[in-house]
A and B are shown apart, each in its own frame.
Chain A
Amino acid sequence: MRYSGFRVIKEALTGHKGWKPVWREPEPKAHYDIIVIGGGGHGLATAHYLSKVYGQRNVAVVEKGWIGGGNVGRNTTIVRSNYMLDGNEPFYEFSMKLWEGLEQDLNYNAMMSQRGIINLFHTDGQRDAYTRRGNAMILNGADAELLDADQVRKEHPYLNFDDARFPIKGGLVQRRAGTARHDAVAWGFARSADLQGVDIIQNCEVTGLRIENGKCLGVETTKGFIGANKVGCAVAGSSGRVMGMAGMRLPIESHVLQAFVSEGLKPVLPSVITFGAGHFYVSQSDKGGLVFGGDLDGYNTYAQRGNLPVVEDVCEGGVALMPMIGRARLLRMWGGVMDMSMDGSPIIDRTPVEGLYFNGGWCYGGFKATPASGHCFAHLLAKDEPHPVATAYRLDRFQTGRMIDEKGVGNQPNLH
């Protein structure tokens, strides 16, 4: 069923009786060409691109709970491509371009809103760093614009410009960046993959990987064994657990990141804003809530909740940046488990086990990467070679010294 304005009018006139569930609930077949573990954003995007771009029709996505119930359903919905390093920026700009055409590609309203992002700077050193980053973005085909304090004041008059310690000296803007409705992204990819014949198998936990003579033959699940020529793992915070079933240890630690939503307010924030003197980023949802977040809690955890010191730290950052939100009440807060890699950059690669592929280490930047991650993982699964924009995301890069460390903080996952 295609969605269109005509369809909406027709359904409105016939009592909305024609809307049907948009994906099937199939029982698993005995064997697939490709199985993707994980029905989150990246797994579902992989299935979509496998079927639509790479012509693979005998594909299944197996998901422990319900699709879109993990990090794709619990992030701050920001989409951007303002990275600096060669290994990253072409990939994220590829993702940005996919976002721009995503709703047409999926025939699904993902509420993609290119409202822009501004990264504020507060010192001369930071201005230099952002100038350099903006130039790297432009060299890679992205858009970037450097604003001085007066230009920022025109667009964001409510910010705390004259703070004694951290005066706002300007900002790096990416106009094409923005936000998207996170759940709709998962549902749109799921619907599209299902229409192409992909089996999306929910409530089916992978309990083991069947590996014989160094080759992966399929997955053991709570619904029995499912055979596959190739198995791709895209499980974010659970990467260590699933790859542990293959006896692998990863350059990854699992950490919790908290996010927050205020009560609904009248429209105040025209774009996504990040604070340069503390860790705080914020946007306003279409319902009016301020959606914001900050630092990781900083210790290994698989619990989807954090602790209060970080809540205090994030709210302090917010009030320092925009004192007007001091009276707004916090409505909801939650935590998601992040697969923090040792250099802050992701991994999309083969593994030492034949037929087993890994996609993970997205840290807390996975949402913006969803379409490109799926596209590049599908390319790797279908053709057994990396997509041109994802060649740097090697699993063995820590051994060969080819780290992609945007922040330059080294092998300390809780600092990325």
Chain B
Amino acid sequence: MIINHPLLGPRDASEFTYLGDASLIDRPDWQAENAAEAFYEYGYVRDNPAGEHQELWYHEAGDRSWLVVTRNTLTHEISKVELARDVARARGRSK
């Protein structure tokens, strides 16, 4: 697989390590009433879709940026690559 890095252009997927579902960006509030339940869902439960999947890749053998890759889990086709920082900020995170 080739991942089209937003800053570096097309890079081989073997330069990256894979973390998992991009919902891991949305860390729950540890002070919320339902924090225990929310952290269980956050840590252990996944949508695991057959089809389009947003996921976190880390450019370990490159510029060490985190990317959000939108990829089809049935065909391995990559339709979108964004910097995780931009995605997190768009979701209201400070950094």
Contacts and interface: CB of A to CB of B under 8 A. Distances in A.
Interface of A: 238, 240-241, 249-254, 298-303, 307, 309, 342, 398-399, 411-414
A242 B45 CA distance: 15
B76 interface: yes
A298 B45 contact: no
B48 A253 contact: yes
Contacts of B45: 249-251, 398
Contacts of B48: 240, 249-250, 252-254, 300
B44 A411 contact: yes
Contacts of B71: 299
8 contacts: A241-B50, A250-B46, A252-B46, A300-B21, A303-B75, A307-B13, A307-B76, A309-B12
B7 interface: no
A411 B13 CA distance: 22
Contact of B44 (A238, A241, A251, A414): A251
- Among B14, B46, B53, chain A packs the most CB atoms within 10 A around the CB of B46
Nearest to B43: A411
A173 to B, nearest CB: 34
User: Which secondary structure dominates where chain A touches chain B?
Assistant: mixed
B92 to A, nearest CB: 24
A414 B46 CA distance: 13
Given A398-B40, A399-B40, A249 B50 contact: no
Interface string B45-68: 111111001010000000000000
Contacts of B75: 303
A8 B20 CA distance: 54
B79 interface: no
A301 B75 CA distance: 8
A399 B46 CA distance: 14
Interface residues of B, number: 26
Interface of B: 1, 12-14, 17-21, 40-41, 43-50, 53, 55, 71, 73-76
B1 A301 contact: no
Nearest to B69: A299
Contact of B76 (A240, A252, A254, A303): A303
B40 A303 contact: no
A15 B10 CA distance: 63
Contacts of A254: 48, 50, 73
Contacts of A300: 20-21, 48, 53, 55, 73
Given A299-B55, A302-B73, A303-B74, A249 B18 contact: no
Contact of B18 (A241, A299, A342): A299
Contact of A253 (B13, B20, B41): B20
A298 B73 contact: no
Nearest to B53: A300
Contacts of A298: 17-18
Contacts of A309: 12-14
A342 B46 CA distance: 10
Given A249-B47, A253-B48, A302 B40 contact: no
Given A241-B50, A299-B55, A302-B73, A398 B18 contact: no
B50 A302 contact: yes
What are the 5 A-B residue pairs with the smallest beta carbon separation, nearest first? A240-B48, A309-B14, A398-B44, A302-B50, A251-B44
Given A307-B13, A412-B20, 9 more contacts: A241-B50, A250-B45, A252-B48, A253-B48, A300-B48, A300-B53, A303-B74, A307-B1, A413-B20
A224 B73 CA distance: 29
A240 to B, nearest CB: 4
